[in-house]
Structure formats: C-alpha cells, structure tokens
Amino acid sequence: MLIVLSPAKSLDYESKLPFKRSTTPRFLDESEHLVKVMATKSPDEIGRLMDLSSDLADLNWHRFQDWDRSMDPKEARPAVLAFKGDTYLGLDVSQWSTRDFTHAQKNLRILSGLHGVLRPLDRIHPYRLEMGTKLATEAGKNLYEFWGDSITETIAAELEGHSPKVLVNCASKEYFKAVHPKQLDATVVTPQFLDLNNGGYKTIGFFAKRARGAMASWLIRSRAKSLKSVTKFEGLGYRYSEDRSTRSTPVFLRDH
C-alpha cells in the first residue's frame, strides 16, 4: 500500500527535530530548473503568478534567491517535519515512533509542485510553489506539463514493491491531477470525508484536509496493507458508510 499526500503552505523550520536522519530528494535537477525560472522573476511577478500578498511575494522571492540544491541539513529539514497545514495537524507525526517514520519512508509520498514526489524524510528548503501554478517553462504552460509523466512513473515504480498494489489518495484534487491513474497497474482509492451540516452531509474543506492527514497517519501506524483496512478508519469521530461508498471511494461520515 502506498499513500500520497499534498504538501502544505504553512511551514515549520523552528521546532526541534526529533532525530537527525534524512534523505535527499530525487528530482533535484528538475527542482533546480524551476527555482532558476522563479529566481528570474521580481517579487511583483511572483505575487501575481501565485496570488500572494506583497509580504509573501517578497518572502518567496528571497527563498528562490537563496535556494541551494545541496540541501544542507543545517538549513533544510525533512518534508514531513517541515509542512504544518491542516493535513499535517491530522497526520500528527509527534505521535509517531521511530518505526513509524521508517514505515512511512517506504509507504508515504508527498506530491510537490517544486519537487515532484517527496519521501517523508527528504530534506527541503522553505518554498511555495503550488502544483496548480501556471508557470511557463520549456516543457509547457504549467507545472502539470512540466512534470508530465514523471510523477506517475515514480509512483508506478514504487508500487512494484507493494502487494497488493493499492494507492490511497489522501491528496487534494489539485495535486492528484499530476498523477495519471490509468497508467498505474494498481487499485486507486480516494477516501471522502463528509460532515453533517444543515441537515445533510457535506465536504468541509479544513475538516476534510485534517481527516486525510489522520487517515494517512492511521494507515502508517497500523501498518495497513489491504484495501479493506481503509474502511476500518475511525479517527476524529468519522465512521465508514458502506451505503455511500464504492470500491474506489470509501465514504466516512461525522455527526459532531
């Protein structure tokens, strides 16, 4: 079983790391190319491209200027410990054991606009470059065209070592669009989380993000291997709804 997550906009480079172990991202050449493209842009151009405030645009301009492919452990940190958004609050790696991190390194992947695919312990510098960014390069008009089949091929290769071949998609639509499921020899499962709201069950963005992180964490910590394991998730008060679910879209409900 392989699990994919989105990255996060919020970052943490201040808290103490629980260990020194880390790895190097696989697509450094591609990342460096994107950084060089972004480094030619002014803060105003970056702000318009990514719809950022002037302060955030200036911050990210400096990040692109200072980016270093050496990924010095003194400055870069493991991706799963650097991201701090709703999904990562749900993931809650503060509760993970050393063995959990080891298992996640084999079974969890983070999709990234800048890095393509990250393992949890891959070192990254602070950055912001969302997958949906319409950044023109020689490869095309946006990052989906830049990455092409690279992300899908990487995931396909990863799945070769898994039995059964199950890909659990805990990423957002924006990021999973960079994966081409029809090219994967695997069962793709996308959990859906619905909360009771005004008399009906609906997807509520920040709740769903946290739930996807909690699902990923539960699958890692429970060492889940089968498709059926996904349906046993009961975190954050959600329950599996057999009536609303399909094989590829297990649905979880919460009443609050």
Mean pLDDT over 66-79 rounds to 95
At 208 the pLDDT is 97
Which amino acid appears at position 207 of this protein? Answer: F
| Residue bearing tokens 């390069």 | 137
Over residues 8-34, mean pLDDT? 96
Q: Residue 254: which of 215, 190, 209, 202 has the closest Cα?
A: 202
Burial class (CB in 10 A: 0-12, 13-18, 19+), 84: middle
Per-residue confidence (pLDDT) for residue 251, from 0 to 100: 98
Average pLDDT, the chain: 97
How far from chain centre, in Å, is Cα 25? Answer: 14
Amino acid sitting at position 218: W
pLDDT level of residue 120 (50, 70, 90 thresholds): very high
Question: Which pLDDT band holds residue 161 (cuts at 50, 70, 90)?
Answer: confident
Work out whether strand 116-118 and strand 77-78 pair parallel, antiparallel, or are unpaired.
unpaired
The pLDDT of residue 256 is 77
Q: Which amino acid is at 92?
A: D
Of 27-31, 63-67, 159-163, 215-219, which gets the smallest average pLDDT? 159-163
Q: What percentage of the chain carries pLDDT values higher than 70?
A: 100
CB 159, CB 185: distance < 8 Å: yes
Q: Residue 248: which residues within 8 A CB-CB, separation 6 or more? A: 187, 188, 189, 190
What pLDDT is recorded for position 7?
98
